[in-house]
Structure 1
Amino acid sequence: MLIERTLAPVFGANCYVLAAEPGACALVVDPGAGAARGAMALLRSHDLTLGAILLTHGHADHVWDAQRLIDAAVTEGRVASGADGASAGTSVPVYIPRPDLYRLEDPAITTGITVDGMTFADLAGTPWLRPADARPFPQDGFGRTVELVPGVALQAVPAPGHSEGSTLFFLNAQLGDNQLLFEAEVLDDPTDIPERDYLLALDGDVIFKGSVGRTDLPGGDQYQMWATLRLLATAVDPATVLLPGHGAATTMAHEHRANPYLAEAKARGGETGA
């Protein structure tokens, strides 16, 4: 499997490109403001076509370039033929957890971020373009794996707290020499890594390396976040590699040892309302 990353210039949000193999249909995850250029470069370098976009949640810094990426892929003829109901060359489905679907009407307003009086659109330097084919992530995907593009099977776990719809997306992948994974583990020889099976989680802004997503934005809830973190600490295999919405990859095992916010959430298990 191919897993690559590019960074959105605004707030350094991670944008991931996943595909079964070179020349295949790609799933792009969280194309934030300015990420379309890097995502297109990755599509070209691996001769990929854009089959679908997945948004881990609806905050502006993770969704802003979704339609721009689609428009760029259409212009270059890099839209997958027959991708899950999309008309070849004209449309690409954009999936988002249903509780956050409303945010795509105007994510700058629903995210509520301003910097020195500048709105998110000011920071991005571009207006919001609502995806033409925005859809809720399939409900079946919360109980079993679903393929949004061929060969990339995901299963979703709700993880509210950062936003109402924040969700983790788990997948199994056989990977070898992958720079993303160097961040998550200590390797004696990073130039020659045999392929092996990984359990990965695209976890948006739920858990970062040594930190977690903020809960003070509209729709955030600290009590829900504590509950989410306790559930993940209990249920997720420690060997799972987390691919977060910002910063370096990590593992659940590392976060058990080194993330004070996860430790706090586990300690608050019996607290009223937590």
Structure 2
Amino acid sequence: MKVVSFTFNTFAENTYLLIDEASGATAIVDPGCYAPAEQQELKNYIETQQLKVELLLNTHAHIDHVLGNSFVLSIYPGIPFLLHPADLPTLRAVPTYAGPYGFAGYQPAEPTGELTAGQRVRLGQAELEVRFTPGHAPGHVVFCHPDSQQLVGGDVLFRGSIGRTDLPGGDHATLLRSIRAELLTLPDETTVYPGHGPATTIGAERQSNPFLIS
């Protein structure tokens, strides 16, 4: 599994491509591309690499992670768009505040399917494991590829920090439980690709993250 990242929008959000190198099958995770130049950058990379986009996945539905959903579905019509149902209210609230946040041109998109805890999502010859990690958002999930020890983690765990919990549906204790149960149970060598900032590893955060050291 190859992971390619792009940093988009004014929130410096990380958008990811998960690529099954054996087949070229690709999932787009949390497309934050809003400006036309950002949209073109994502599209050009996919076309240049001759990737086969088969899935649109959201770890959660805060505005910075969903700005490009409609764009992705417009250029890859018919692909499944999957979100945990507990985050549907989060997604459907975005149009109410997109304008004041500077994204008046935001176009909403509705999921075509659901993500659930423990679900296995097929991507070419690879398989992604869905882990349910509420706390930052009610329906937050992460996508784990155990074979390559890689995880796309949204806004759960960052290098030296954790996701904020002061937004609607957030809860600090719940987030810490999610991290300990669903992330810290992974091997130390697991690379974590967060929704903002640089990648880290489970081992590094276990040893030095001030929110996780008891």
Q: TM-score, normalising length from structure 1? A: 0.70
How far apart in 1 are the matches of 2:179 and 2:119? 21
Q: CA deviation at 1:145?
A: 2.6
Measured in 1, the distance between the counterparts of 2:160 and 2:124 equals 34
Distance of aligned partners of 1:67 and 1:234 in 2 relative to their CA distance in 1, 3 Å threshold: closer
Instruction: Report how far residue 256 of structure 1 moved.
Output: 1.4
* Structure-2 separation of matches of 1:21 and 1:58: 28
1:105-136: CA deviation from partner (whole Å, max 9, x where unpaired): 23254xxxxxxxxx543445443322254321
Aligned position for 2:51: 48
Partner of 1:208: 158
1:166 maps to 2:140: yes
Report the residue type matching 2:189 in the other structure. A
Change (3 A) 1:229 1:49: closer
Alignment of 1:189-228 (within 5 A): 198-228=148-178
Runs of 4+ in 1 over 6 A off after TM superposition: none
State how many pairs are aligned.
211
Q: 2:32 matched to which residue of 1? A: 32
Distance 1:67 1:22, change over 3 A: farther
Equivalent pair of 2:121/2:130 in contact (CA under 8 Å): no
> CA offsets per residue over residues 175-220 of structure 1, 9 Å max, x none?
xxxxxxxxxxxxxxxxxxxxxxx31111100000011100000010
User: In the superposition, relative to structure 1, how do residues 128 and 50 fare at CA in structure 2: closer, same or farther (>3 Å)?
Assistant: same
Residue in 1 that maps onto 2:125? 151
Query: Could you tell me how far apart the structure 1 residues matched to 2:53 and 2:196 are?
Result: 23
SS in 2 for 1:91: coil
Q: How does 1:231-246 map to 2 (within 5 A)?
A: 231-232=181-182, 234-246=184-196
- Partner amino acid, structure 2, of 1:40: K
Gaps of 5+ in 1: 74-78, 80-89, 110-118, 174-197, 268-274
Q: Distance in 1 between matches of 2:183 and 2:3?
A: 25
1:115 aligned partner? none
Asked if the contact 2:98/2:106 (under 8 Å) is kept, the reply is: no
Q: Write the distance in 2 (CA, Å) between the matches of 1:171 and 1:251.
A: 14
Which structure is larger by alpha-carbon Rg, 1 or 2? 1
Instruction: Provide structure 2 residue ranges, at least 5 long, that are not aligned to the other structure.
Output: none
Percentage of matched positions with identical amino acids: 27
Equivalent runs, 1:1-274 vs 2, <5 Å: 1-21=1-21, 24-34=24-34, 35-71=38-74, 73=75, 79=76, 90-109=77-96, 119-137=97-115, 139=116, 142-143=117-118, 145-147=120-122, 149-172=123-146, 198-232=148-182, 234-263=184-213, 267=214
Offset, 1:165: 0.9
Equivalents in 1 of 2:204, 2:8: separation in Å? Answer: 26
Which AA in structure 1 matches 2:56?
Answer: I
Cα distance between partner residues in 2 of 1:22 and 1:235: 28
Contact 2:2/2:19, CA 8 A, preserved across alignment? yes
Paired residue secondary structure (2:113): strand
Secondary structure class of the residue paired with 2:99:
helix
Q: 1:44 to 1:236 in 2, by over 3 A?
A: same
How far apart are residue 144 of structure 1 and its match? 5.1
254-263 or 14-23, larger mean C-alpha shift: 14-23
| One-letter amino acid of the counterpart of residue 216, structure 1 | D
When structure 1 is superposed on structure 2, of 92-101 and 240-249 the one drifting more is 92-101
Asked if the contact 1:55–1:62 (Cα under 8 Å) also holds between the matched residues in 2, the reply is: yes
Residue number in structure 2 paired with 1:87: none
| TM-score calculated relative to the size of structure 2 | 0.88
